[in-house]
Amino acid sequence: MVKILSYPITLLFFLAFGATLVIFHPIQWLALNLFGYQPQKRTVSVLNWFLMRCTNILGTRYQFENIHDIPENRPLIIVTNHQSMYDIPPIIWYMRKYHPKFVAKKELGKGIPSVSFNLRHGGSALIDRKDGRQAITEIGKLGTYIEKHKRAAVIFPEGTRSRNGHPKPFKPMGLKMLMRKAPSALIVPITINNSWKLLRYGQFPMGLGAYVKFKVHQPLEITPDVDGLITQIEQIIIKDIVA
């Protein structure tokens, strides 16, 4: 019964979600080309607040737990598990004062109103997952960017999303490159739960009533033992995953 009900509700959601992306695309373009980075960045933050409100149509609720005083005057490397594309709007909105930039697959850099424009022009890294050299180079550029501008890079070290909430092993190369290029960065681990439930049936229909939770863990300094640090980060994140 719930799945049957989700069909018409999903249609309403897609209409609202798509309209939001289309409406914000020219606003974002004007903000960047007429006024520069800061107005464009604020436009992207508001866009993602509206995208979260669109998911409320599906009965989605959000909890973002952060009890830590994270500084704004140094670069951050936000490391998190990955369960769906709907992980991204809450990170952009709730972490907006840190200017989050993403490591994203290059396919997202074209064809998606608002999203593709922001990925291409907002400072994120678009990587070819079939070309390891290109991917590492672009991630390195992102690390240099956040080190210079004191902004945040967001990386999903699993490499792809979990379709059932169970974490996948970390692929450490991208994270290592970010640490190398942004040596003053603070590591911010985040655990995400339940966003996979939005896609429990696949892309259509959407899952209803997901309670998506984000937990920001104690930030960590980069240490000389990078492999040990990455293992520690992975353990911190996965210990709070409820799959």
- Span between the terminal Cα atoms of the chain, in Å: 23
Task: Give the three-state DSSP class for 81.
Answer: coil
pLDDT at 135: 95
The rounded distance, in Å, linking the Cα atoms of 205 and 97 is 34
pLDDT at 78: 98
pTM exceeds 0.85: yes
Quick: pLDDT tens for 27-82. 999 999 999 999 999 999 999 999 999 999 999 999 999 999 999 999 999 999 99
pLDDT at 13: 98
Give the confidence band of 110 by pLDDT, cuts at 50, 70, 90: very high
**Structure-block tokens of residue 214:** 């984000």
The rounded distance, in Å, linking the Cα atoms of 141 and 178 is 9
Residue 165 has pLDDT above 90, yes or no: no
Half-sphere exposure of 92 (CA within 13 A, CB side): 24
Quick: pLDDT tens for 111-142. 999 999 999 999 999 999 889 999 999 999 99
**Structure-block tokens of residue 52:** 């979260």
| Burial of 90 per CB tally in 10 Å (0-12, 13-18, 19+) | buried
The rounded distance, in Å, linking the Cα atoms of 145 and 35 is 21
The rounded distance, in Å, linking the Cα atoms of 147 and 140 is 11
Q: Does residue 205 have a cis bond before it (omega within 30 degrees)?
A: yes
Place of tokens 């709007």: 89
φ/ψ of 191, rounded to 5, equals -105, 130
pLDDT at 160: 78
pLDDT at 129: 87
